[in-house]
Amino acid sequence: MSRSSIRKRLLAWYDANARDLPWRIGPADHARGVRADPYAVWLSEVMLQQTTVPHATPYFLKFLQRWPTVSDLGAAPDAEVMAAWAGLGYYARARNLLACAHAVAGEHGGVFPDTEEGLRALPGIGAYTAAAVAAIAFDRPANVVDGNVERVMARLHAVEAPLPDSKPELKALAEALVSDNRPGDWAQALMDLGATVCRPKAPLCDRCPLSADCKAFAGGAPETYPRKTRKADRPRRYGVAYLLIQGRDIALVQRPPKGLLGGMLGLPTSEWRDEALSDLEALAAAPASGDWRHVGAIEHVFTHFALTLEVLRSDGGQGFDGAIWTPASGLGALPSVFLKAARAGLDRLV
Ligand code: SF4
């Protein structure tokens, strides 16, 4: 298998098939010298780490319209940015986004460092994002390895070692293909191949520019790569969410700044623990005295655990200091776990 022929064929495929993405400078424009906006590249990469292109795109456009530069984002009130992030999940990323925006705006005059090392030194930027921004925005020969690239490498070389142990090997295989020639296009070509052709379940090998060199394709079962060790089941936690209603308003609380969904508005809840609360425990943990009735339950999956939330509702109640009364029509910006819980209670009784 020749390194240069793999590079040549994949780049030619990218020239003809690159996805049209709102943050991307396509290969033809790039060849003419048009350069990507590092802020747009960084924003898109952070969003895409936890969701798909179709889901991230409207958020990306909204962020860019509202905060056109990283300095605008850095100057925005944290709560506004967190609220705009709602629906993209995993709020630690939004906090990292803010930490990085503050640093670039405050310490770098609103200009992103143009090397992988410089980017890596920013708060809230991990190795993957630093490599992706260095390659795509600054054409640095960085090795950009996400799940798509790991999959392509595992198949191309029929790597038998299972993930996650094979990660260093897959990274080294990807590194061997990086070059000074068109590094940004190369990184995006690999991403596009993984996303549109070398798909997880049903790879389209008959359309793949690398099929002649692909060992997994030659073996007849490319979809079985990358090999994986069996995942332990995600742990489950249990809790209770409280829907306290006064007229048209619902009581919300601001969550503590640190921890899961930190700083966000949410419904008041009990602690989340390894076993379900009894009815008495659920009433004892309520934020106010009231006529609490069980109105439903929701399931929500976080990165590290699954949560079952029972939903109790009371129409009227006393003694809830610190409640933030919010009209039911204004709940749309809540993190999805609380939105689900609110809907579970409101659907049944309103
Ligand atoms: Fe993936 Fe098939 Fe191409 Fe191999 S031939 S890289 S399995 S799409």
Task: Give the strand pairing for 249-254 and 324-327.
Answer: antiparallel
- Sequence-separated (6 or more) residues with CB below 8 Å from residue 323: 244, 251, 252, 253, 268, 287, 288
Listed residue (225, 222, 190, 187) closest to 209, CA to CA? 190
Residue nearest to atom 7 of ligand 1 (CA): 222
- Sequence-separated (6 or more) residues with CB below 8 Å from residue 281: 270
Residue nearest to atom 5 of ligand 1 (CA): 211
Tell me how far the alpha carbon of residue 12 lies from the centroid of ligand 1, in angstroms.
16
| Dihedral sign computed on CA atoms, order 194, 198, 200, 204 | positive
One digit per residue, pLDDT tens: the chain, 350 residues?
588 899 999 999 999 999 999 999 999 999 999 999 999 999 999 998 867 899 899 999 999 999 999 999 999 999 899 889 887 766 777 888 999 999 999 999 999 999 999 999 999 898 999 999 999 999 999 999 999 999 999 999 999 999 888 999 999 999 999 999 999 999 999 999 999 999 999 999 999 999 999 999 999 999 999 998 766 668 999 999 999 999 889 999 999 888 888 888 999 999 999 999 988 899 999 999 989 998 888 999 888 899 999 999 999 878 788 899 999 888 887 899 999 999 888 854 33
pTM of whole model > 0.75? no
Mutate to test the pocket of ligand 1, among 7, 13, 153, 155 (most ligand atoms within 8 A of CB): 155
Tell me how far the alpha carbon of residue 181 lies from the centroid of ligand 1, in angstroms.
23
For residue 307 the two structure tokens come to 């949560």
Q: Is the CB of 225 under 6 A from ligand 1?
A: no
Mutate to test the pocket of ligand 1, among 152, 159, 207, 224 (most ligand atoms within 8 A of CB): 152
Residue nearest to atom 4 of ligand 1 (CA): 214
DSSP 221-273: -GGG-S-BPPPPPPPEEEEEEEEEEETTEEEEEEPPSSSTTTT-EE--B---B
The residue type found at 169 is: E
